[in-house]
């Protein structure tokens, strides 16, 4: 049973509280009754270490948008949104009717939420109850967490696509939303397209004059989407450029994870627990994993280093042989981001706070 520090906010409440069973893990909150509760509120931060480093600040921006916008919007419209794992209260009859907890994927919480939805149950997000949580404070821990979530989501899509299509208690619109928007686009297409476009096609385009990429497609639209995502926290807008560069690196891991889960490649069903400090610290202390002596291959992420060399080469080529497009400044920054994360730099120094 994870410690209270490892629990993410938002308690999932179920309308009838007669028979309830608590899910063992804790990340957000939701409820089930043929109507599920799901809402995040309050002004206090739900993460105890959200200001510990640049890495945790970036994560907080994403999770705030995820809970306060995506989850609340799904709750308000009674459209499908995933149960995030823990700190949830489920009606026993809902779990039994959905087929119980299953370990066929690494996202058993999402799996149960999908099966409950197909049986006609609806979730409502309740955010007035706040629970302490802890964000991964190292790059490797965050990568493992994202790999597990991305791989598990894509793998679940493979498992439940047929069930969603044949479900009798779900409307055609909700089926379309679940299959196309929630699973296909967000779990498979988005990470794959983002990685290939920004980390492969864009760098290569500087060496192929015939390959033209419209600025509105590669810059304007993504920038608007990112600003909309981060606008809830104006005080953190200054780290938006770091978030953009950080996400360009993470698309590589998410694409690999999505393809592994979709096609059941190596590591597709491997569960690696995200390392956290738990209750080793008092409330007044900021939890950070202690550094330990590691071998070179554990201290250096070679995928990121190789990608950075490729990006630096393309940027230098574009700088020397300037053609119709000049992306070298952006490519140098991307390469630098890959180098920093390749060396596990997470921005814990005071200048990054």
What's residue 314's pLDDT? 96
Which tokens is 37 given?
Answer: 């509760």
| List of residues 6+ apart from 31 with CB closer than 8 A | 12, 13, 14, 15, 37, 38, 88, 89, 90, 91, 123, 124, 126
- Report pTM: 0.83
Instruction: Report the distance separating Cα 321 and Cα 311, nearest Å.
Output: 15
Region 121-136: what's the mean pLDDT?
81
Cα radius of gyration rounded to whole Å, the chain = 21
Instruction: Report the distance separating Cα 7 and Cα 47, nearest Å.
Output: 9
Q: What is the pLDDT confidence band of residue 18, given thresholds at 50, 70 and 90?
A: very low
What's residue 87's pLDDT? 65
Domain boundaries, the chain: 4-352
Answer with the residue of higher pLDDT: 40 or 208.
208
Q: What is the pLDDT confidence band of residue 220, given thresholds at 50, 70 and 90?
A: confident
91, pLDDT greater than 80: yes
| List of residues 6+ apart from 67 with CB closer than 8 A | 9, 10, 28, 40, 125, 127
Q: What is the pLDDT of residues 165-207, one digit of tens each?
A: 999 989 999 999 999 999 999 999 999 999 999 999 999 999 9
What's residue 35's pLDDT? 55
Answer with the residue of higher pLDDT: 87 or 47.
47
| List of residues 6+ apart from 3 with CB closer than 8 A | 278, 279
What's residue 77's pLDDT? 80
Q: What is the pLDDT of residues 242-282, one digit of tens each?
A: 999 999 999 999 999 999 999 999 888 888 877 776 655 55
């Amino acid at each position: 049973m994870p410690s209270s520090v490892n629990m993410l906010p938002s308690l999932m409440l179920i309308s009838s509280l007669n028979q309830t069973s608590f899910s063992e893990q804790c990340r957000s909150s939701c409820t089930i009754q043929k109507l599920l509760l799901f809402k995040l509120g309050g002004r206090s931060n739900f993460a105890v270490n959200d200001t510990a480093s640049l890495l945790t600040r970036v994560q907080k921006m994403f999770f705030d948008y995820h809970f306060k916008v995506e989850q609340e919007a799904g709750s308000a419209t009674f459209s499908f949104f995933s149960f995030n794992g823990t700190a949830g209260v489920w009606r026993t009859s809902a779990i039994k009717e959905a087929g119980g907890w299953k370990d066929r994927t690494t996202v058993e919480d999402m799996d149960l939420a999908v099966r409950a939805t197909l049986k006609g149950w609806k979730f409502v997000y309740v955010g007035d109850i706040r629970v302490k949580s802890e964000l991964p404070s190292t790059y490797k821990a965050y990568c493992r967490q994202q790999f597990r979530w991305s791989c598990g989501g894509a793998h679940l899509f493979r498992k439940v696509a047929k069930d969603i299509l044949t479900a009798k208690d779900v409307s055609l619109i909700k089926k379309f939303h679940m299959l196309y928007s929630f699973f296909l686009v967000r779990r498979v297409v988005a990470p794959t397209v983002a990685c290939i476009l920004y980390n492969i096609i864009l760098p290569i385009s500087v060496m192929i004059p015939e390959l033209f990429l419209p600025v509105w497609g590669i810059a304007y639209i993504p920038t608007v989407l990112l600003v909309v995502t981060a606008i809830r926290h104006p005080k953190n807008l200054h780290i938006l450029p770091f978030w953009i560069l950080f996400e360009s690196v993470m698309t590589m891991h998410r694409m690999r994870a999505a393809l592994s889960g979709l096609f059941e490649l190596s590591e597709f069903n491997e569960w690696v627990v995200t390392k956290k400090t738990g209750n080793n610290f008092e409330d007044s202390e900021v939890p950070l994993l202690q550094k330990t002596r590691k071998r070179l291959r554990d201290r250096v992420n070679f995928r990121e280093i190789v990608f950075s060399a490729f990006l630096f080469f393309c940027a230098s080529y574009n700088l020397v042989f300037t053609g119709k497009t000049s992306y070298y400044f952006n490519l140098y920054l991307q390469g630098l981001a890959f180098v920093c994360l390749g060396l596990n730099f997470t921005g814990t120094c005071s200048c990054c706070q």
